[in-house]
Structure 1
Amino acid sequence: MPSLWRPINGPVESWPLALCDGRTVSPTSLIASERLRSTWSGGTTFVLHEEGNKWYFMSNQRNDEVAIFKNFDSKEDVAQYAAHSSFELRSCYPQARPRESIEVRAMVFTYPEHM
């Protein structure tokens, strides 16, 4: 399940999107969590910080710069997700505009080659 994420009133001056390299996340740092609401339920995974994590972000990301990342993959021999979050920029000035963004998720279905 890929996601496309971009700002809608860029450039991003505060709390940018950060993506973690899935190869640097160990399975022991993952915590499964269930979201229960009155009309639906679902699951999510939290990632505990580890010294080896490698995080990336786009500095001053503009409206025409799109981040594409994986939210979920059913294949088990590849990174199944990209941990993502936002973070406070230490260099952010007090008058920085709050980040406004949009995320679109897509479902992608593939079939084995022998079909």
Structure 2
Amino acid sequence: MLPVIEAYPLAACTYTSTVRQDIVPIDVVYPHYAEESFEIRHSLSHQWFWKSGMKHDDIMLIKLFDNKMDPNNAFYAPHGSWRDPNARNDAPPRRSIELRCMVFGGD
């Protein structure tokens, strides 16, 4: 039986609680690959939500980026994980699989 996630729950920040200046571009460099990504600056206005007790068959769908950048719709969703201080000290760490897909559509 696979463990329930206790120690590092997956968290996402609401788009409406961020401002464009919160998002900072960074370079992610590996020995065989490099890409640009983004980090988020800390702000007390951010509203974070997380899923406690995720099981192996739970799914969280996150919009990583939308190049339309329509001000009326979210075009990114900051996300990550954090050490839950209420978790057992021997709780296994979260393991995730990230699948990316591109969605194309007309107006």
Q: TM-score, normalised by structure 2?
A: 0.87
Q: 5+ residue gaps in structure 2?
A: none
Q: Which runs of 4+ in 1 moved over 4 A?
A: none
* Offset at residue 74 of structure 1 (A): 1.1
* Offset at residue 38 of structure 1 (A): 4.3
Name the residue aligned to 1:39: 32
Name the residue aligned to 2:84: 89
Q: Which has the higher contact order (CA 8 A, sep 6+)?
A: 1
Name the residue aligned to 1:69: 62
Q: How does 1:1-80 map to 2 (within 5 A)?
A: 9-77=2-70, 78-80=73-75
* Offset at residue 10 of structure 1 (A): 3.7
Aligned length: 104
Q: TM-score, normalised by structure 1?
A: 0.82
| Identical-residue share of aligned pairs (%) | 28
Q: How does 1:94-109 map to 2 (within 5 A)?
A: 94-109=89-104
Instruction: Please give the per-residue CA displacement for 1:44-73, whole angstroms capped at 9, x wherever unaligned.
Output: 111011111000111101122210110111
